[in-house]
A and B are shown apart, each in its own frame.
Chain A
Amino acid sequence: MATTQLTSISDHNFEQCLKCSICTVYCPVAAVNPAYPGPKQAGPDGERYRLKDPKFFDEALKLCLNCKRCEVACPSDVRIGDLIQQARMKHKSYRPKMRDMMLASTDLVGTMATMVAPITNFTLGLKPVKAVMHGVMAIDKHRTFPAYSQQKFEAWFNKNARDYQNTFAKHVSYFHGCYVNYNFPQLGKDFVTVMNAVGYGVHLLEKEKCCGVAMIANGMYNQARKQGEVNMASMRKSIDQQRPVLTTSSTCTFTMRDEYPELLGINNDGVRDNLSLATRFLFQLVDEGKIKLAFRPEFKMRIAYHTACHMQRMGWAIYSTELLRMIPGLELIELDQNCCGISGTYGFKKENYETSQAIGETLFADIEAAKPDYVSTDCETCKWQIEMSTSVKVLNPISILAQALDIDATRRLNSSEWHRMDA
Chain B
Amino acid sequence: MNNKNNHYDVIVIGGGITGAGVARDCAMRGLSVLLLERFDYTNGATGRNHGLMHSGARYAVTDKESATECIEENMILRKIASHCVEETDGLFITLPEDDLGYQKTFVEACRAAGIRADIIDPAEARIMEPSVNPDLIGAVRVPDASIDPFRLTVANVVDAQLHGADSLNYHEVTELIISQNRVVGVKARDMYTGEVKEFYADVTINAAGIWGMLIARLAGITINMFPAKGALLIFGHRVNKMVINRCRKPANADILVPDDTVCVIGTTSDRVPIETVDDMRVTDEEVRVLLAEGEKLAPSLATTRILRGYAGVRPLVAADNDPSGRSISRGIVCLDHEERDGMAGFITIVGGKMMTYRLMAQIATDMACSKLGKNAVCETATTPLPGSEQQKPASGKQAFAINAAEGRHGTFASKIKYESDTDRAMVCECEGVSVAEIRYAVENQHVPNLVSLRRRTRVGMGTCQGKLCACRAASLLGRFSGNIAKAQCDLAQFLDERWKGVKPVAWGSALREAQLTATIYQGLCGLDKAIARKEDEK
Q: Which residues of A contact B (CB under 8 A)?
A: 1, 3-5, 7-12, 14-21, 37, 40-41, 44-46, 48-49, 51-53, 55-56, 58-59, 76
Contact = CB atoms under 8 A, between A and B. Distances in A.
Contact of B304 (A12, A40, A56): A12
Q: Which of B258, B260, B512 has the most CB of A within 10 A?
A: B512
A14 B304 CA distance: 11
B395 A55 contact: yes
A59 B432 CA distance: 17
Interface in B302-322: 302-306
A15 B432 CA distance: 17
5 closest A-B pairs by beta carbon, nearest first, are A19-B464, A15-B305, A10-B303, A8-B508, A8-B305
Nearest to A38: B429
A58 B512 contact: no
Given A19-B463, A19-B467, A41 B400 contact: yes
B464 A56 contact: no
B513 interface: yes
Interface in B230-263: 236-238, 258, 260-261
Interface string B425-448: 010011010000000000000000
B516 A15 contact: no
B462 interface: yes
A18 B291 contact: no
B219 interface: no
A35 to B, nearest CB: 11
B305 A18 contact: no
A277 to B, nearest CB: 34
Contacts of A16: 305, 509
A7 B403 contact: no
B468 interface: yes
For this complex, into which size category does the number of interface residues on chain B fall? 35 or more
A9 B303 contact: yes
Nearest to A12: B237
B507 interface: yes
Contacts of A58: 400
A45 B429 contact: yes
Contacts of A51: 237-238, 261
B425 to A, nearest CB: 11
A59 to B, nearest CB: 7
A7 B238 contact: no
Contacts of B305: 8, 10, 15-16
A49 B300 contact: no
Interface of B: 236-238, 258, 260-261, 291-292, 295, 300, 302-306, 395, 397, 400, 403-404, 407, 426, 429-430, 432, 462-464, 467-468, 507-509, 512-513, 516
6 contacts: A9-B303, A12-B236, A18-B512, A40-B429, A49-B261, A52-B237
B400 A48 contact: no
Q: Which of B237, B291, B430 has the most CB of A within 10 A?
A: B237
A57 to B, nearest CB: 10
A1 B467 contact: no
Contacts of A9: 303
Contacts, number: 95
Contact of A5 (B306, B400, B464, B468): B306
A49 B238 CA distance: 9
Given A10-B303, A18-B516, A48 B237 contact: yes
Contacts of B464: 18-19
B85 to A, nearest CB: 14
A56 B400 contact: yes
Given A45-B429, A49-B261, 4 more contacts: A1-B291, A5-B302, A40-B429, A44-B463
A304 to B, nearest CB: 36
B397 A59 contact: yes
A18 B513 CA distance: 6
Nearest to A4: B302
Given A1-B295, A5-B302, A18-B464, A45 B430 contact: yes
Given A15-B305, A40-B429, A51-B238, A10 B400 contact: no
A55 B403 contact: yes
B508 A19 contact: no
Contacts of B260: 52
Nearest to A7: B303
Given A19-B430, A19-B467, A37-B400, A48 B512 contact: no
A395 B268 CA distance: 67
A48 B403 CA distance: 14
A158 to B, nearest CB: 51
Contacts of A56: 400, 403-404
A414 B507 CA distance: 56
Q: Which of A8, A12, A16 has the most CB of B within 10 A?
A: A8
B463 A15 contact: yes
B307 to A, nearest CB: 10
Nearest to A17: B463
Nearest to A41: B429
Nearest to A15: B305
B462 A48 contact: yes
A271 to B, nearest CB: 30
Contacts of A17: 463
Given A51-B237, A55-B395, A58-B400, A10 B261 contact: no
B302 A49 contact: no
A5 B429 contact: no
Contacts of B236: 12, 15, 48
A5 B397 CA distance: 38
B509 A21 contact: no
A4 B295 contact: yes
Contact of B516 (A10, A12, A20, A48): A20
Given A4-B291, A8-B304, A48-B261, A21 B468 contact: yes
A52 B397 contact: no
Nearest to B509: A8
Nearest to A9: B303
A19 B304 contact: no
B517 to A, nearest CB: 9
Contacts of B237: 12, 14-15, 48, 51-52
Given A19-B430, A41-B429, A51-B238, A5 B300 contact: no
A345 to B, nearest CB: 24
